[in-house]
Amino acid sequence: MKLRYIALLAATALSMGVISPVLADDSKPYTEGPVSEVTSIRIKPGMFDAYMKWLDTTGKQIRDDEKKAGIIVDYAVYTVQPRSPQDPNLYLVITYKNMAALDGLEDRVEPLQKKIWGSREASAKAGADRESMREILGTQLIRRLDLK
């Protein structure tokens, strides 16, 4: 009886040694990282310098204010060689800490925009004016996955 008990205990211990690493390895091999909003833009012919000037002045002020307020983590501008006339030639990338940072975003950004334009109407007009320099082809959210 005692020998059977010891054998059963040994078999249990061995099986736990084989099974427990499998159970411990059941977690995801990554963690969810920051979220970036990638806007694809096609700058209209002859407007590259004018649009870059806007980005370097007003656009930069907005993003720097958002960064100081903790609304965004970072931002970047990327130029790209388009493959066709329908492809973007510029990407604007705004990075947020996580997906939750997008909740109530408009309410947190509006006071910063009012500081620059004064009113929602003036902000809307400025947005329409930018459309004379560029065309937004689309925006997509991407999330970085950090491998463990």
**pLDDT range class, residue 72, cuts 50, 70, 90:** very high
Tell me if 25 is assigned to some domain: no
What three-state secondary structure class fits 47? Answer: coil
Tell me if 126 is assigned to some domain: yes
**pLDDT range class, residue 10, cuts 50, 70, 90:** low
**pLDDT range class, residue 71, cuts 50, 70, 90:** very high
Exposure of 68 in the CB half-sphere (CA atoms within 13 A)? 7
Range of the domain at 66: 30-147
Tell me if 108 is assigned to some domain: yes
Distance of CA 52 to the CA centre of its chain: 22
Q: Once rounded to an integer, what is the mean pLDDT over residues 111-120?
A: 83
pLDDT greater than 70 at residue 4: no
- As for how many domains the chain has, the answer is 1
Q: Once rounded to an integer, what is the mean pLDDT over residues 17-39?
A: 80
pLDDT greater than 90 at residue 100: yes
Phi, psi of 104 (to 5 degrees): 70, 20
**51-68: pLDDT as tens digits:** 999 999 999 999 999 999
pLDDT greater than 90 at residue 47: yes
CATH value at residue 103: 3.30.70.100
How many CB atoms lie under 10 A from the CB of residue 44? 14
Q: For position 136, what pLDDT does the model report?
A: 96
Q: Return d(Cα 67, Cα 74) in angstroms, integer.
A: 7
Residue 136: which H helix or E strand, with range? strand 134-147
pLDDT greater than 60 at residue 25: yes
Q: For position 119, what pLDDT does the model report?
A: 77
Tell me if 98 is assigned to some domain: yes
Tell me if 16 is assigned to some domain: no
| CA-based end-to-end distance of the chain | 47
Q: For position 5, what pLDDT does the model report?
A: 57
Tell me if 50 is assigned to some domain: yes
